[in-house]
């Protein structure tokens, strides 16, 4: 029995190997083109074993999305120390985000591209992860705004759009950094920090950009 135990890997380890193979295959070839044969071969197991453990291509893809979403959100949360000033929190959060997406380009592709575009239940899984990140960023910006304005009731609705903009910019820069040779995670983080911080910082200080008035507009 001892011999059998050492030969056989625990189910949890096998499953992780299957998910590793699946994330790589879905990320590089896309959900539709990826085949279960390919995934089983890459994982070094038989196709029936993949079905036994993970049931179907749909369930396997869902498991990939959940694992990659949990890993990304955990990486960002772990990168942020709430006791630091707001700009340092943002800098560290961005650093953690770009480090994770550059080290896991196939996982990023599964989350950002594949999961959102092959209907349900995949789109909902990806949307839930994105909503969690937007909510986290919203709270970061809200805490900074409440501190800067010395107003504990500063409305959350004033910063939701800013969080959406920041997350959208981060998504685009992750795609760009992963597709552009020579662009490092740190450069992507620094680019977004430069782009975002001075703008957010001015807003925190109550100095928004002022739209031209209608009269100027008409004569412009």
Q: Which residues bind a copy of itself (CB under 8 A)?
A: 30, 32-33, 81, 84, 87-88, 91, 113-114, 116-119, 161-162, 164-173, 175-176, 183, 187-188, 190-203, 207-209, 211-212, 220
Considering beta carbons, is residue 48 or 220 the nearer one to a copy of itself? 220
Q: How far is the CB of 196 from a copy of itself (least distance, A)?
A: 6
Contact 107, 68 (CB under 8 A): yes
Using CA atoms, how far apart are residues 212 and 90, in angstroms rounded to an integer? 30
Contact 72, 101 (CB under 8 A): yes
Considering beta carbons, is residue 3 or 214 the nearer one to a copy of itself? 214
Q: How far is the CB of 37 from a copy of itself (least distance, A)?
A: 20
Using CA atoms, how far apart are residues 29 and 36, in angstroms rounded to an integer? 12
Considering beta carbons, is residue 39 or 159 the nearer one to a copy of itself? 159
Considering beta carbons, is residue 75 or 193 the nearer one to a copy of itself? 193
3-state secondary structure of 179: helix
Q: How far is the CB of 86 from a copy of itself (least distance, A)?
A: 12
Using CA atoms, how far apart are residues 141 and 157, in angstroms rounded to an integer? 11
Q: Which residues 6+ apart lie within 8 Å of 214 measured at CB? A: none
Q: How far is the CB of 6 from a copy of itself (least distance, A)?
A: 43
């Amino acid at each position: 029995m001892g011999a059998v135990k050492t030969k056989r890997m625990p189910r949890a380890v096998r499953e992780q190997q299957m998910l590793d193979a699946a994330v790589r295959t879905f990320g590089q070839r896309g959900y539709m083109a990826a085949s279960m044969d390919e995934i089983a071969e890459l994982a070094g197991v038989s196709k029936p074993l993949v079905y036994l453990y993970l049931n179907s291509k749909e369930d396997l893809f869902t498991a990939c999305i959940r694992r990659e979403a949990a890993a990304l959100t955990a990486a960002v949360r772990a990168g942020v120390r709430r006791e630091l000033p707001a700009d340092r929190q943002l800098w560290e959060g961005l650093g953690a985000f770009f480090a994770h997406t550059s080290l896991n380009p196939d996982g990023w592709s599964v989350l950002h591209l594949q999961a959102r575009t092959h209907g349900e239940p995949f789109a909902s899984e990806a949307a839930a992860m994105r909503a969690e990140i937007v909510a986290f960023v919203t709270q970061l910006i809200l805490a900074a705004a409440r501190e800067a304005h010395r107003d504990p009731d500063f409305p959350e609705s004033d910063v939701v759009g800013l969080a959406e903009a920041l997350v959208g910019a981060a998504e685009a820069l992750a795609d760009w950094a992963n597709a552009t040779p020579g662009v490092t995670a740190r450069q992507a983080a620094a680019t977004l920090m430069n782009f975002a911080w001075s703008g957010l910082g001015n807003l925190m200080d109550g100095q928004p950009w002022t739209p031209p008035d209608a009269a100027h507009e008409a004569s412009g």
